[in-house]
Amino acid sequence: MKYNQKLNQAILTSNSLLCIGMDPDFNKLPMHLMESPDPILTFCKDIIESTKDVAAAYKFNIAFFESLGEMGWQTLRELLTLIPPHVLSIADAKVGDIGNSSEKYAETFFDEYQFDCVTVAPYMGFDSIEPFIRREDKGIFLLALTSNPGSADFQRLKLENGKYLYQEVIDKAVSWNKNDNIGLVTGATQAPDLKAIRQQAGEMPFLVPGIGAQGGDLEATIRNSVNRQSRGALINVGRDIIYSSSEENYKRIVNQKATEYFDKINKFRFTLSV
């Protein structure tokens, strides 16, 4: 199955745009999990179990797993087996290196760990992303206009042609998207720009971080991000869901929080004309 078909199937089957951000921080786990032989694994399993009925995708922040050494990679491998078959798996690794290095990153995340897609930095140009987009059944989300405060340092630099650098990235992404497997990372904290980015990018899918802990406006994000079918965007929520409770009943609270986001997202995307 081609990547874009897989992405659309994930959204349609789950009736969801919600992407759960998996950023497991040992220092933020419920205290009772410290009695577990592997607190990170137990916590992440519980998060997946509590949210899988409302999630279209899971975004695994690779830094949080590789910081644990060999155990982190083993944990990641086990967690990927728990994701329902119709739900998308995203490696948030922000890779992007010279061609032969990107080949190895693609092999790591697509072949060894069987992720559906990976986040990629565009700074080194086409040869750094080509190994990822060559595979029609796999996809990437290319960093365009991100949600962090420092995004303006480079992404909003004005070029000689009058465009911002992030706008040039989007134009390049559109021209490179021959296999229909490139998407864009567009931050929810950049809500005023999302409508123009959608117009520029056409039907290209968005991965939208910045909701919840980073303070992005959910309604404005939905209204400015989705495509003409009220799809085409994965709304990532991490900390506001996975750390919504530190009590022993945290799984129930996590489920409630994820369901609240699921309901709000669908309310906004299905009332766009109202």
Cite the active site residues.
94
Distance CA 166, CA 127 (A): 18
4-7 LR contacts (CB < 8 Å, sep 24+): 4/139, 4/180, 4/181, 4/205, 6/88, 6/116, 6/137, 6/139, 7/88, 7/116, 7/139, 7/183, 7/205
Sequence-distant (≥ 6) Cβ neighbours of residue 251 within 8 angstroms? 46, 49, 50
Provide the token pair at 131. Answer: 């190994």
**Ramachandran angles phi, psi of 211, nearest 5°:** -90, 145
Judged on CB neighbours under 10 Å (0-12, 13-18, 19+), 154 is exposed
Fill in the amino acid letter for 224: N
